[in-house]
A and B are shown apart, each in its own frame.
Chain A
Amino acid sequence: MENKVEKNDRSAFVSKFLRLLKGELGLILILAALMVVFSLMSPYFFTSRNLLNITRQVSITLIVAIGMTFVILTGEIDLSVGSSAALVGVATAAVLNATGSIFLGLIAGLILGVGIGFANGALTVYGRVQSFIVTLAMMGIARGAALVWTGGKPISRLPVDFAIMGAGYLGPVPVSTIIAAGVFILAFFVLNRTKHGVYVKSIGANREAARLSAIPVRKYRVLAFVISGLMSALGGILITSKLLSAQPTAAEGLEMNVIAAVILGGASLSGGIGTVLGTLLGAMVIGVIDNGMNLVGVSSFFQQIVKGVIILVAVLAKRSD
């Protein structure tokens, strides 16, 4: 009898370990391997300066990807994040220039992001159109609006103080890294320690079962898009702040990097499965590949191929049973 208990303990341990390996631990190993390789290839790679630099480069992708994680967890997708970021950047800059107040600019940008997210959510949930279609349309609308608003030209001559968020440093640490870390901690908390997280995962895993588990499904589905809209807005503001100029063509293709980070992080496009820790690691893997290849001097054309291959390999490795 005693023997049996012990064996059960061990088997539980084995399955726990396998579960970990398939989850975040596997990604950490991939990340570590990449870092070892790049350290060997470039002496500059593993310096605190460069590592902090990577976190700065990753911060915008990460913030938007965290919003995307909520949407993907509910089993939907948001293709409009890049365009929304650009439009929000333009709006923020315009309000800022018109009022002279950074605060009002930020508020306007964030509200616009929430509005776009709400429109995406309401059309998907109440209009019963697939989110792929809704957000594909929104992607065009938001980008078009940004271009029309600015006549295709960037809005520059923003007050220098505005650059602190995207380009500033607090000691050696980039401000945008701190903002991203804050967003990450908040999202981690919401998904793991609040009702919201339980509900979001349930909705993505089985919508009918979620409804019959007394979850207000529609509310939380719309909310996921709102969160994504808000995060895109924050991303758009950081991009504008970093460049000290609002470009209507900014963040083009951002949605691809963001979705790649989330999927790489172990989320399932059919919903229910995914963590923000995974998303963080996914974004870091992409960031390290970008940064490392630049340092090593791989041509930017070739970089895209390498990145694509690494993403495929990572996703396949994690899937194998």
Chain B
Amino acid sequence: MPDIALKLEGIHKSFGGIHALKDVSFELSEGEVHALLGENGAGKSTLIKILTGVHKMDSGIIQVRGKTVTIEDPVDARHKGIGAIYQELSLVDSLTVAENIFLGHEPSTSFFGTVRKKELIRRAAEYLLSFGIKIDPNTLVGDLGLGQKRIVEIIKALSINANILLLDEPTTGMSRAEIDTLFEIMDDLKIKKVNMIYISHHLDEVFRVCDRATVLRDGQNAGTFEIDKVDLKTLVKSMLGRTLKEEFPVREGRSSEETLLGIKEFKTDKMLAPISFSLKKGEILGITGIIGSGKSELALGLFGADRALKGKISIGGREVRLNSPDDAKRHGISFIPEDRKEQGLFLRLNVEHNICVANIDLAIKNGIISSKKKSEIAKETSEKLKVRPLDIKMAVQNLSGGNQQKVVIGKWLCGEPDILILDEPTRGIDIGAKTEIYSLINYLADRGTGILIMSSEFREMSAICDRILVIRKGTIVAELEGKDSSTEQLLTLALGG
């Protein structure tokens, strides 16, 4: 029997009327990477936050190496050797990488209580180097990409010499190369006897790096499995409480021949190169490429969010000018951005507001909003997307990460747009809910909506798209039929092999 690094017993936690964790037990053995799995809202992040003292549990026992402890707050957790990277980033954009890494536990202070800057940078550089990461510690965090920010977040968690490391969906927004780096870091940590809890909705990652998996369902234990002895199907069934028929629903309809959106030599101030392509009515067109290839810039450009420099956009054969998202919306374009926290959500406002804001006209008659209609729209959309809990008056910040993502999608879905642009739409969404979202995309396409999906998840792309464009350094380098493409092929094209 291996030694137990961390043991949780009978953990309960409620938020107001929501019982997020019910009698949850969990065990982390010395030297293991233990996956924590479950649907959106199952209680994974809540458990992590209890371990770091962000939330107080209502009842239960936490034992660290056999000793019962109480964790007061994140500083206390740090003293007990528990480090975490949270689902939502907690870095300060206006500080440098080095400053962020040591925020709150600066290595040494001078006589006047000021931080010794040189020492800080030297130590940060050391850390980055020891993990083989090429980021200058003097860079402002705001200038980094999402994947790099995650790496910095991890280094920050490690800088406290954590013995127990909690990783909540760490690969969100990371490129393949960055994920590989992360896994190398994790292998390295394992040798250094750091124990890890790993949360992810990407089960392939779980099979790659984890030893065991504990599944939560509706805030309760639904089973613990040895990764060697379990298959994907069993895990998914345990998570959802049912078998998942097909991950990717088959589309019944097909795209028409009518061109809906034509882009010619179009370029904005943020795009790397001019781009031309067209989108047909009812077509699901994927644009894929590695992170940083210029997908998001293209999406923002087509939505009028950046300044257009050259080129032509035509919709239904008529040339249009899109100077603002407002213009784009008037021409029937909807856009679901990639970064839910920064670009998508009004976190402190309720679900109803978030869903209705972009299509508030649907609830307006003679200039007056009908509250009834508004809540109907919000309810119907949240039901369609299976937002849990189904309480449209709840502030979005109190939803789980995946449920927040569903709300971002809901914001534009309720308008039944002519053209829908989605940038990494399934980020943080569990495997069951993903299927629902693919079905909704299919439904819209069958209705005639032209769909443009930007994603770096090659498997998803080849499964759901009619046609795929591969983009590299801002330029389209290949065009494939969705059903003819394979993950490996897309990866090779995207990397430029």
Residues of A at under 8 Å CB distance from B? 8, 10-16, 18-19, 192-195, 198-199, 201-202, 205-206, 208-216, 268, 272-273
A residues in contact with B266, CB < 8 Å: none
Least CB distance, B139 to chain A, in whole angstroms: 22
CB neighbours (8 Å) of B348 from chain A are 205, 268, 272-273
Q: Which positions in B face A, CB cutoff 8 Å? A: 16-19, 303, 305, 324-326, 328-329, 335, 337, 342-349, 353, 356-358, 360-361, 364, 367-369, 371, 389, 391, 393-394, 411
Contacts A215-B357, A216-B324 given: A209-B329 contact, CB under 8 Å? Answer: no
Q: Is the CB of B346 within 8 A of A205?
A: yes
Given contacts A195-B364, A212-B305, is CB(A206)–CB(B345) below 8 Å? yes
> Contacting B17 at CB < 8 Å: which of A12, A209, A215?
A12
> Closest Cβ of chain B: how far from A12's Cβ, in Å?
6
The reply to whether B17 and A10 form a contact with Cβ atoms under 8 Å apart is yes
Give the contacting residue for A213; candidates B358, B391, B393, B394; CB below 8 A.
B358
What 20 additional pairs, Cβ within 8 angstroms, besides A13-B17, A194-B369, A212-B337?
Answer: A11-B19, A12-B17, A15-B16, A15-B17, A15-B18, A15-B394, A16-B393, A193-B369, A194-B364, A195-B367, A198-B356, A205-B349, A206-B347, A208-B343, A209-B342, A209-B344, A209-B346, A213-B357, A214-B329, A272-B349
* 3 A-B pairs with least C-beta separation: A11-B17, A214-B329, A205-B346
Q: Is the CB of A213 within 8 A of B411?
A: yes
Assuming the A-B contacts A12-B17, A15-B18, A195-B360, are A212 and B345 also in contact, with contact meaning beta carbons closer than 8 angstroms in the complex? Answer: no
Q: Is the CB of B18 within 8 A of A11?
A: yes
Question: A212 and B326: CB pair below 8 A?
Answer: no
Other-chain residue from A10, A19, A195, A215 in contact with B393 (beta carbon distance below 8 A): A19
On chain A, the residues within 8 Å of B18 by CB distance are 11, 15
Chain A binding surface SS class: helix
Q: Judging by beta carbons under 8 Å apart, are A215 and B326 in contact? A: yes
Contact, CB under 8 Å: A211 / B325:
yes
In the bound assembly, the distance between CA atoms of A16 and B350 in angstroms comes to 12
Q: Tell me, rounded to whole Å, the shortest Cβ–Cβ distance linking A267 to chain B.
A: 12
Q: Please state if B328 and A214 are interface contacts (CB–CB under 8 Å).
A: yes
Known: A10-B17, A18-B16, A198-B360. A212 touches B393 (CB 8 A): no
Q: How far is the CA of A129 from the CA of B425 in the complex (A)?
A: 35
Tell me the smallest distance from the CB of A213 to a CB of chain B, in Å: 4
> 26 A-B pairs, CB-CB below 8 angstroms?
A8-B389, A10-B17, A13-B17, A15-B18, A194-B364, A194-B368, A195-B360, A195-B364, A198-B369, A201-B349, A201-B353, A202-B346, A202-B349, A202-B353, A202-B357, A205-B346, A205-B349, A209-B342, A209-B345, A209-B346, A210-B357, A211-B324, A212-B303, A212-B325, A213-B358, A214-B325
Cβ–Cβ < 8 Å partners of B369 in chain A:
192-195, 198
Min Cβ gap A76→B in Å is: 17
Of A194, A205, A211, the residue contacting B305 (CB under 8 A) is A211
Residues in B whose Cβ lies below 8 Å from that of A268? 348
Whose C-beta in chain A lies nearest to the C-beta of B396? A205
Rounded to whole angstroms, the CA-CA distance of A273 and B397 in the bound complex is 14
Chain B interface, >50% SS class:
mixed
A-side contacts of B345, CB under 8 Å: 206, 209
Determine the residue in chain A with the shortest Cβ distance to B415. A214
What is the minimal beta-carbon distance from A220 to any residue of chain B, in angstroms? Answer: 11
> Given that A195-B369, A198-B357 are contacting pairs, would A212 and B347 also be in contact in the complex, using a CB cutoff of 8 Å?
no
Contact B353 A195 (CB under 8 A): no
Q: Which residues of A contact B324 (CB under 8 A)?
A: 211, 214, 216
Q: Are A216's CB and B364's CB within 8 A? A: no
On chain B, the residues within 8 Å of A213 by CB distance are 325, 357-358, 411
| Bound Cα distance from A130 to B3, whole angstroms | 57
A14–B17 CB distance below 8 A: yes
Closest to A218 in B: B324
Which of chain A's residues have a CB closer than 8 A to the CB of B325? 211-215
Closest CB-CB distance, B251 to chain A, in whole Å?
28
Which residues on B sit within 8 Å (CB–CB) of A215?
325-326, 357
Q: In the complex, A14 Cα to B337 Cα: how many Å?
A: 34
Chain A residue contacts of B346, Cβ below 8 A: 201-202, 205-206, 209-210, 272
- With the chains together, A87 CA to B432 CA distance in Å? 63
B368 to chain A, nearest CB (A): 5
Question: Is there contact, CB below 8 Å, between B353 and A198?
Answer: yes
B393 cross-chain contacts in A, Cβ below 8 A = 16, 19
Distance to closest chain B CB from A175 (angstroms): 29
- Is B326 a contact of A214 with CB atoms below 8 Å? yes
Whether A193 lies near B353 (C-beta < 8 A) is no
Choice from B326, B343, B394 contacting A209 with Cβ under 8 Å: B343
* A278 smallest CB distance to B (angstroms): 15
B238 to A: closest C-beta gap in Å:
21
A216 to B391, CA, bound (A): 29
Partner of A212, one of B16, B344, B349, B361: B344
B-chain residues with CB within 8 Å of residue A212 when the two chains form the complex: 303, 305, 325, 335, 337, 343-344
Residue numbers in A under 8 Å from B349 (CB-CB): 201-202, 205, 272-273
CB atoms of B342 and A193 under 8 A apart: no
Which residue of A is nearest B16, CB measured? A15
B357 contacts A14, CB within 8 Å? no
Q: How far is the CA of A208 from the CA of B391 in the complex (A)?
A: 25
**CB nearest neighbor in A for B14:** A11
B268 CB, min distance to chain A CBs, angstroms = 15
Q: B residues within 8 A CB of A199?
A: 357
Query: A60–B394 Cα gap in the complex (Å)?
Result: 35
In the bound complex, CA of A8 to CA of B389 (Å): 10
Q: How far is the CA of A15 from the CA of B411 in the complex (A)?
A: 24
Q: How far is the CA of A12 from the CA of B388 in the complex (A)?
A: 13
Chain A residues closer than 8 Å to B394, beta-carbon distance: 15
A272 to B337, CA, bound (A): 21
B368/A11 in contact, CB under 8 A: no
Which residues of B have CB within 8 Å of A15?
16-18, 391, 394
Expressed in whole angstroms, the minimum distance between the Cβ of B336 and any Cβ of chain A is 9
Q: How far is the CB of A14 from chain B (nearest CB, A)?
A: 4
Question: B342 — which chain A residues lie within 8 A by C-beta?
Answer: 206, 208-209
